[in-house]
Amino acid sequence: MQTDTLELDIWRGGRDGAFQAFELPLRESQTILDAVTEIQRTQDASLAYRFACRVGMCGSCAMMVDGIPRWTCRTRVVDVQRKGKRLKLEPLRNLPVVKDLAVDMAAFFDKWRDAKGYFEPGESPPADFAVVPPDSRERRAADVAIECINCGICYSACDVVSWDKDYLGPAALNRSWTLVNDVRDRGQTSRLEAVATDSGCHSCHSHMSCTAFCPKQLSPTQSIAGLKRETMRAALRGAI
């Protein structure tokens, strides 16, 4: 009756910790998040993890599942479990562990700020509504990259982040690229300067792990390539 039981090894503790084994009934359409929640409610109330929406919108439940970063609310056990094998759950890579499966996302969001991943309206408000044609080049470029839910999976998957703690990372650079394509924005020069530093877009090795694991099927690699082009153009123009 091995297939009726789900066996998991879950990381417990902070940076120094150990795996703890759990067992629970394998259920139909059970997600990884369902399993973790069931363990916390029926076996060990001290198990720490993070979630909010449970429907793939909020981006808070990401963790490593058998070494792969995944959004656990939309990951079904049957889709990722190799038949009869134990599942290994760990906190996201590349971020400090708070406890068990919860990581400290501060560095991740600080880098969004550092990459100027926010709208810059300029000194005075525009006199009229900005008209942005939906089929304009900039609008379409922004559309392709806009659906990020800030889950941190790309950041966790990125090898450059793992060896360069200052690297801004795929999510922040992806957001920055959407704003570079926002024709209303008035902070473009400082944004290009922010992403063209040694820790910015030019450090990307195009490994494409971010693109491979993004649950929203975005391609931060492509966004970063766009930033590389724009920053090089700006440098040739003497704008930065």
Partner 1 sequence: MNAARNAASNAAWTARLLVAQRATAFVLAFAVAIHLATIIYAVRAGLNAGEILGRTRGNALFLAFYSLFVVAASIHAPIGLRNIFREWANWRGRSLNIAMIAVALILLALGLRAAFAVYAA
For residue 200, the SS3 value is coil
In the region spanning residues 146 to 165, those forming contacts with partner 1, defined by CB under 8 A, are: 160, 163-164
Interaction pattern, residues 182-201, with partner 1; x per rule: CB under 8 A = --------x-xxxxxxx-x-
State the DSSP H helix or E strand holding residue 162, giving kind and residue range, or none if neither: helix 159-163
Binding segment for partner 1 among 8-16, 25-33, 118-126, 227-235 (CB under 8 A)? Answer: 227-235
Interaction pattern, residues 86-105, with partner 1; x per rule: CB under 8 A = --------------------
* Site for partner 1 contains 234 (CB under 8 A): yes
How wide is the angle at C-alpha 75 spanned by C-alphas 72 and 78, nearest 5°? Answer: 130
Residues that bind partner 1 (rule: CB under 8 A) add up to a total of 21
Among 31, 203, 209, 219, the residue binding partner 1 under the rule CB under 8 A is 203
How far apart are the C-alpha atoms of 60 and 240, rounded to whole Å?
36
Among 27, 139, 186, 202, the residue binding partner 1 under the rule CB under 8 A is 202
* Site for partner 1 contains 231 (CB under 8 A): yes
Give Dmax (Cα) for the chain.
70
C-beta of 169 vs 215, nearer to partner 1? 169
Distance in Å from the first CA to the final CA of the chain: 65
Q: How many residues does the chain have?
A: 240
Helices marked H in the chain — which ranges?
32-42, 77-80, 106-114, 137-145, 153-157, 159-163, 170-180, 188-195, 209-213, 220-237
User: What is the contact surface with partner 1 in residues (CB under 8 A)?
Assistant: 160, 163-164, 190, 192-198, 200, 202-203, 228, 231-232, 234-236, 240
